[in-house]
Structure 1
Amino acid sequence: MSERLSGRVTEDPSALVRELVLDPQFRYEAEHLLPWYLAIEKALVAEYLRMELIGEREARTLGRLLDGVTPEGVEEKRSQSLSDIALAIERGVTERLTEPVPVWHADRSRNDLQACAQLMSAKRRLQETAGELHRLADAARRLAGRTADVLMPGYTHFQSAQIISAGHYFAALGDRLLRRSRRMLQTYDLIDACPLGAGAMSGQELPWDRDRLAGLLGFDRAEPLALNAVASREWAAEVTAELGLLGGTLSRFCTDLLMWAGSEHGFLDLPDALSGISAAMPQKKNFPILERIRGKTAHLAAFHVDVTLGQRNTPYSNLVEVSKEAGTHVAAAFDTCRDVLRLLTVVLEGLVLREDRLLEACEQEYFGGFTLANRLTLCHGVPWRTAQVVAGGYVLAGVRAGRAPKDAAPDVLVALAAEHGHTVEDAAGLLADAFDVRRALPRMRSAGSAAPDEVRAALAVQKREGKELAAAWERRAAIVRQALDDTDHALGAGADTK
């Protein structure tokens, strides 16, 4: 060691440990966590000043030097600092002091420092994810608004079931996205507790004001128990769980889009810029972007499992295994989720529905069977289960005869009803009404149905809720921004260097 950092260990880490463990971790933290480490260091300087362990001039000097720390600067100190970013920051600032500040870093641990930096980064990434999530929700809402009257088949059990509208479908997507935003906001508020001041695990000996530290860093509160602050790291599992749930939902919508874009359905198209080709089959236009999106959603679930497995069966204390290895892919989880949201937003913005194919598919199926059974019961007094048998028999007869749903066969309906002891008057009018695809949506009267007015009402609610959620996320982001600015002002630093 060129300069001793510990009296207990007297040799530098081995070249292999540096190459495979320490240096990759160092560079990851320099890229993703350095701003948060520096913000934490400044908050701690403000506390040294409050406790009158340093003076205002020393506080300003330390603040100014911390503002001058760069990724390149800490990289220069990596080899001299055991490949530890906290030690590299400390060394870089200490070497630039014209006069020593002996108390700086007294009564300190890297455990709560690292936990705090990781959590601050996660909060920022959640805010960014929410922004992308709302952009996708807006795209889904706009698409739903344009297509509230576009008829399409709805499917259950992989079979065509009822007529819905494309707007009804995409409104469902928008609603689920807002649900995920609400869940993420709840998660954000749940984890918004500052670990700083916990020390290694049992607290610290100086009278640190942990509530003040939390406020200086934009947290809602301090983590109440020191052990939980450094041992838990549950936030990583909770955050990646939310990303995994989002991925699971989006994969289901992508599965529909992939199926509907296929040549068997041909319900939708994408611009050439979002499409692919077959090198062997010139007639094909592929949509690999949808496959990519769905494939990436699998990674989101895997990242959550990775965090969970990395934490399980470990002692409840601060561990590198939990704090670093188990969180290896948290940043990748956020990156992947960002990519999924951005790609799917572009898809929805460019998606073109082939309304002729959608209408043709609606006209080919006996979607009016449900309506026919309802009318037999409500208008002709046929018991519901019997009405189901009669309506099903009519559909079966039409399928066997190769008859299109719009080609009514009133005599068949009359005969089927008569078999069960019932008389159907104006069978032709009943069938014409039941199997008129353009009457399918207007007859839906329940709240939240596929009726165009209900879809538009739901979209209006989504628009309002989306704005409220976006504002809630912005309030939380503003708290952090203001807190960090206040910390800079408290030290008299930052004004000339930012």
Structure 2
Amino acid sequence: MKLWGGRFQKETNSLVNAFHSSISFDYRLYEEDIKGSIAHAKMLASCNVISFDDMEKIVEGLKSILENIENGEVNFSEDAEDIHMNVETMLINSIGEVGKKLHTGRSRNDQVALDLRMYVKKEIDKLKNLILKLENSIYKIASENVDTIMPGYTHLQKAQPITFCHHLLAYGEMFKRDYSRLVDCYKRMNVSPLGSGALATTTYPLDRYMVAEELGFDDVTMNSLDGVSDRDYVIELNSALAIIMMHLSRFSEEIILWCTGEFGFIELDDGFSTGSSIMPQKKNPDVAELVRGKTGRVYGGLITLLTMMKGLPLAYNKDMQEDKEAIFDSLDTVKLCIDVFSDMLSTVKVNSGRMRDAAGEGFTNATDGADYLVKKGMPFRDAHKVIGQLVFYCIEKKTKLEDLTLEEFKGFSSLFDKDIYEALDLKNCVERREVVGGPSKSSVNIQLDNLKYFIKKEQKH
């Protein structure tokens, strides 16, 4: 008979039992469930709801169960439905009738809400460390390419010259924001729901703050209905994970492009590439492609959670059991992707010569030509037109702006002088962009320093 089966006259249908059970995936909450139960038992004794002797027996029994699970000596039972009932059943079997007192003043509704918060808090700490690892990889390769000129793109068309360092540091900023979202999410989820009961607390004189402090929470939830039915923190976390994957996917897309023969900007290490079963020459960027592909399953987790919650009346509903598989899979996917992506990035070989050549193609210095005329006194719109005409002239002549003679320049405007060649030099085009956030060496060095400071500051926490 189930621990909750007193009012039932029949055993649960075997198919329903399998359908209802969640132990196949919520077993991973065992540590949180046991630690939460230990804190609950201590609080019950402190409030004179159970005796101190009973509390000691319960705590020792729970510690023994934790040790047995971690030693691989426990087989979880589908009949016990979930991790909570599995642990409680094991406790009763281990210490007898005293074990039945553990659930006093508690429901599985607030129990699972507690366990899941504790679990995802721990996972956020792991994610933060992985993002710092990725930021270290970005910093390393960026700092080695401060002078590596490459074309910047809009619409995937060559636009203006930048540096590879500048390009990489854009992703550094994205992942800093991802890190901050995890920090913010952690703050909002760091309140304890235990004591909310099934939905309306309990008549026992519980000390919710004692449990919260014991388990490292900043506060307790202020409404028991909300305490057991809130899954905002899971949705918010999965949203943050989806944004992380979007950033990784954008980065992956560029890596896939950069290592093609058409771009040739980078070469991936053999250890992070695969071959073809039929084409001997192939070296495929499968890691980046898989990261790009796995983004969809994390998006799917977010949609699952939002859809699951959108029509639920207060308070707890069994639908909410579906939260775990979605967030567990999203967490597992993102952790794996960040980890392997960081290692792949740290081994990339940069073809700086090819990047420089590519920046010299496609008239990436055209805007600098327009700026040159503006500084000579021409209105920008007129300067834009003149350089546009020059670009068309170069296309017809199959040449570059910087390869035109001074006489050819003057044929379009008398404002051109021999210093136009200095203005069109790619290195100068980059170095003159000293505006905060720009690609000049002075600017990217500030960006590098900021990223280094961020990494060191957060590693100390």
* TM-score computed with the length of structure 2 as normaliser: 0.94
Deviates more, 1:459-468 or 1:353-362: 459-468
Matches within 5 A, 1:53-452: 53-69=49-65, 70-71=68-69, 75=75, 78-79=78-79, 81=80, 83-97=81-95, 100=98, 103-322=101-320, 324-378=321-375, 380-417=376-413, 423-424=414-415, 426=417, 428-430=418-420, 432-452=421-441
8 Å Cα contact 2:39/2:211 also seen in 1? yes
Deviation at 1:296, TM superposition (A): 1.1
Amino acid at match of 2:108: R
Query: Percent identical across equivalent pairs?
Result: 24
Which one has more relative contact order, counting CA pairs under 8 Å at least 6 apart? 1
Amino acid at match of 2:380: W
| Shift in alpha-carbon separation, 1:153–1:89, aligned structure 2, 3 A | same
CA distance in 2, matches of 1:236, 1:364: 48
Amino acid at match of 1:267: F
SS in structure 2 of the partner of residue 164 of structure 1: strand
SS in structure 1 of the partner of residue 75 of structure 2: helix
| Shift in alpha-carbon separation, 1:101–1:255, aligned structure 2, 3 A | closer
CA distance in 2, matches of 1:294, 1:5: 45
Deviation at 1:99, TM superposition (A): 6.7
| Shift in alpha-carbon separation, 1:222–1:33, aligned structure 2, 3 A | same
Deviation at 1:58, TM superposition (A): 2.4
CA distance in 2, matches of 1:45, 1:118: 19
Deviation at 1:348, TM superposition (A): 1.0
8 Å Cα contact 2:434/2:442 also seen in 1? no
8 Å Cα contact 1:4/1:10 also seen in 2? no
**Count of paired positions:** 457
Q: Does residue 40 of structure 1 match 2:33? A: no
Amino acid at match of 2:319: E
CA distance in 1, matches of 2:88, 2:20: 21
> Counterpart in 2 of 1:466?
455
SS in structure 2 of the partner of residue 54 of structure 1: coil
Amino acid at match of 2:10: E
Q: Does residue 6 of structure 1 match 2:2? A: no
CA distance in 1, matches of 2:255, 2:103: 56
| Shift in alpha-carbon separation, 1:424–1:103, aligned structure 2, 3 A | closer
- Deviation string 1:403-453 (CA, Å, 9 cap, x unpaired) is 134312322221212xxxxx3252x331x1132122222111211110112
CA distance in 2, matches of 1:383, 1:60: 84
> Counterpart in 2 of 1:485?
none
> Counterpart in 2 of 1:477?
none
Amino acid at match of 2:104: A
8 Å Cα contact 1:271/1:350 also seen in 2? yes
Deviation at 1:49, TM superposition (A): 1.2
- Deviation string 1:268-323 (CA, Å, 9 cap, x unpaired) is 1011121122333333322111111111122211111111111111212101102x
Amino acid at match of 1:112: D
- Deviation string 1:50-73 (CA, Å, 9 cap, x unpaired) is 112333332222111100114466
Deviation at 1:76, TM superposition (A): 5.8
CA distance in 2, matches of 1:161, 1:78: 60
8 Å Cα contact 2:434/2:440 also seen in 1? yes
SS in structure 1 of the partner of residue 324 of structure 2: coil
CA-atom RMSD, angstroms? 1.9
CA distance in 1, matches of 2:93, 2:364: 78
CA distance in 2, matches of 1:46, 1:196: 13
8 Å Cα contact 2:23/2:76 also seen in 1? no
CA distance in 2, matches of 1:336, 1:43: 31
CA distance in 1, matches of 2:253, 2:90: 52
Q: Does residue 18 of structure 1 match 2:9? A: no
Gaps of 5+ in 1: 418-422, 475-498
8 Å Cα contact 1:182/1:469 also seen in 2? no
8 Å Cα contact 1:232/1:316 also seen in 2? no
8 Å Cα contact 2:150/2:164 also seen in 1? yes
8 Å Cα contact 2:49/2:204 also seen in 1? no
Amino acid at match of 1:281: M
CA distance in 2, matches of 1:86, 1:58: 19
Amino acid at match of 2:354: R
8 Å Cα contact 2:131/2:179 also seen in 1? yes
CA distance in 2, matches of 1:398, 1:294: 39
Amino acid at match of 1:355: S
